[in-house]
Amino acid sequence: MGIIKKLDSIIIDRIAAGEVIERPSSVVKELIENSLDAKAKKIHISTYEGGIQKIIVRDDGEGILTEDLPIAIEKHTTSKVSTIEDIQTIQSFGFRGEALSSIASVSYLEIQTKHKHETIGNQLISRGGKILSLKPYPIHNGTKVIVEDLFFSTPARKKFLKSNSIEDRYILRNIIKLSLSNYDVEFLYTRDDKEILQLLPVEFYNLTERFNAIFEDSFSELLLPVYFQENQITIKGWIGKPRLERKITDRQFLYFNKRPVEIRNFSYIIKSAYGDLLPENVSPIYILFFEIPPQNIDVNVHPAKKEIRIFQEKEIYDYTIQAIKKTLLPKVPISIAENELKTEPDITLKKKPSSILFPIETLYANQTIFYLQETSDPYTIYDHEEKQLKKSFLPLQFIGIIFGTYIIASSEDQLYLIDQHTAHERINYEKFKKSIEKNGISSQHLLSPMIIDFSLEEVEEINQYKHIIEKYGFCFHFVSKTSIVLTEIPTFLEIGEEREIFLKLIYKIIKGIEPLPLYEEYIAMKACKASFRKNDYLTEKTIQQLLIELSKCEEPSRCPHGRPTMLTISKDRLDYLFYRTGFKKKS
């Protein structure tokens, strides 16, 4: 007799439920998503004993029709899609029709619901997926789902749960995640009858208020707003200011069309955009919302819909890096009077893109206000300001040097403090970069060719991308199955550094990450090494030359690593500070 037999349908359901409902926080997530899909404006979540004893999610959404209620807890039943094409353009959180049935099969489930078009509601009680009772029930519009004794039917799963307090943390994390992309919905979270979170609806640009309510009061002060748009892709949100020394790892939130997702390596990509602006062992903070045509992502790759597949992955990564760099490296110089921003927010927005007081969506809400344009296209204005800056930048009158490092200079209407090191770095960087742009990446022969070993798998990839690698100035051939000999390297590389850069280049090309920034980073590093240092004595003539060359730079106000090269304060502002005029103007 054969030994293969079909599993009992109850066992099948319980195995399948494990994929969707891993722990109490998965229940909370699925129920909140259902409430959001039902267009709820207010969601109240209560949990008891880590959610294992009881979870209640109550919403004021559309409710479930009487005839739909018993069907809703069956397997693969959904009101959100009916054809396979629907999934490709899905806007709702749910579409797999698995959550309620999975939850039902592993718990005592009660649903009280009243559809907005019906006069009386209903109550359904089930145990392990079997309906015990279904009857009319008085309830206001909306739905209340009560899940008790989770995993009673799957003791093995229950054994893997952690302590109540850890499960509570997972639950909180899931609530936070969904509350950040659904800022227009009110969330109330009570845990063992204690209020943990109350989040009132906010506009997108006031999401920082929600951050502060969730994390700590001053959290938003650590953030810079991001806005980027290209090719039907919008990236908006916030990232941590440069030089944050705090090691916070739980402040990374990523959304695609409002759906919280995880993308491996994403934190690495963001970190690479910061370059030197973030210390080695610090993780970047980001809360980023991508808006992208739904057909360009596949959300149906993970049972709990945590992961997605992106069809324009490389483009998305490139745009992310560009968006972050533009945020971190605004072209306008920083005002010396920067610290006053908080007390006088009225005119902060005009010149201060790096402040949290620079909300994003206000900006496209009302285009008539001058600074509002900054967010719809923040960079046009920077360009405009930069031109102004350049105009007033020369002739700069050199006044002196203080503390062995800072050049004091003035133009007709601005006072400048210029850091001799970062300024020189900017000049050298642009010189190197221009020479590459002009002459391309030319190669130099290695006097003694270098052998590098790889694994078989790597060799295959290197073979596949050989023509691209060669475009970046490296020439090599295979000398055995797993080793190559490097014969030519880019001219601007210093001997001794070719191996590391070659390996990094291959890594980037294989991962589909634009390789040029690697060279830019290298050039920036080289520019830094070749630049005047603090306390280097410079003659007046050298300084004059430095100022002239700086004024010719594309981005004179930042060094290639993003540190400022100069601070400015305007004559008007000085007049104001010295009470010479009532005219209130910043920088």
- Site for Mg ion, rule CB under 5 A: 34, 94, 99
Interacting residue with ligand ADP among 64, 223, 341, 501 (CB under 6 A):
64
The enclosing H or E element of 469 equals helix 466-471
Q: How many residues appear in the chain? A: 587
Q: Binders of ligand ADP among 70-129, rule CB under 6 A?
A: 72, 77-80, 94-101
Q: Which residue's CB is nearer to ligand ADP, number 34 or number 422? A: 34
* In the complex, minimum distance from the CB of residue 105 to ligand ADP, in angstroms, rounded to a whole number: 11
Q: Which residue's CB is nearer to ligand ADP, number 30 or number 385? A: 30
Quick one: the chain helix, strand, coil %, rounded to 5?
40, 25, 35
Beta strands (DSSP E) in 479-586 are: 483-490, 566-570
* In the complex, minimum distance from the CB of residue 103 to ligand ADP, in angstroms, rounded to a whole number: 8
Residue with the shortest CB distance to ligand ADP = 94
* In the complex, minimum distance from the CB of residue 168 to Mg ion, in angstroms, rounded to a whole number: 22
Contact flag: residue 299 with ligand ADP (CB under 6 A): no
CA distance 563 to 523: 16
Instruction: Number of residues interacting with ligand ADP: please give it, by CB under 6 A.
Output: 24
Q: Which does 355 bind (CB under 5 to 8 A by kind): ligand ADP, Mg ion, none?
A: none
Beta strands at 54-59 and 194-199: parallel, antiparallel or unpaired: unpaired
Q: Which does 53 bind (CB under 5 to 8 A by kind): ligand ADP, Mg ion, none?
A: none
CA distance 199 to 219: 16
CA distance 533 to 555: 20
Q: Which residue's CB is nearer to ligand ADP, number 97 or number 562? A: 97
Phi/psi of residue 535, nearest 5 degrees: 70, 0
Residue with the shortest CB distance to Mg ion = 94
Q: Angle 420-439/540-551 helices, nearest 10 degrees?
A: 50
> What are the residues whose beta carbons fall under 8 Å from the beta carbon of 358, sequence distance 6 or more?
225, 348, 349, 352, 374, 375
Beta strands at 121-127 and 108-114: parallel, antiparallel or unpaired: antiparallel
CA distance 576 to 570: 10
Q: Which residue's CB is nearer to ligand ADP, number 121 or number 562? A: 121
Per-position DSSP letters for 227-247, written without gaps between them: EEEETTEEEEEEEEPTT----
Mask: binding to ligand ADP, 13-52, rule CB under 6 A, as x and -?
A: -----------------x---xx-xx--------------
Q: Which does 158 bind (CB under 5 to 8 A by kind): Mg ion, ligand ADP, none?
A: none
- Cα 131 to Cα 77, 106, 125, 153, 253, distances in angstroms: 16, 13, 6, 15, 38
Q: Binders of ligand ADP among 219-238, rule CB under 6 A?
A: none
Q: Which residue's CB is nearer to Mg ion, number 20 or number 528? A: 20
Q: Which does 60 bind (CB under 5 to 8 A by kind): Mg ion, ligand ADP, none?
A: none
Q: Which residue's CB is nearer to ligand ADP, number 94 or number 284? A: 94
* In the complex, minimum distance from the CB of residue 70 to ligand ADP, in angstroms, rounded to a whole number: 11
Q: Which residue's CB is nearer to ligand ADP, number 34 or number 181? A: 34
Torsion-angle region of residue 499: left (phi > 0), alpha (psi -120 to 50) or beta?
A: alpha
* In the complex, minimum distance from the CB of residue 125 to ligand ADP, in angstroms, rounded to a whole number: 16
- Contact residues for ligand ADP, defined by CB under 6 A: 30, 34-35, 37-38, 59, 61-64, 72, 77-80, 94-101, 143
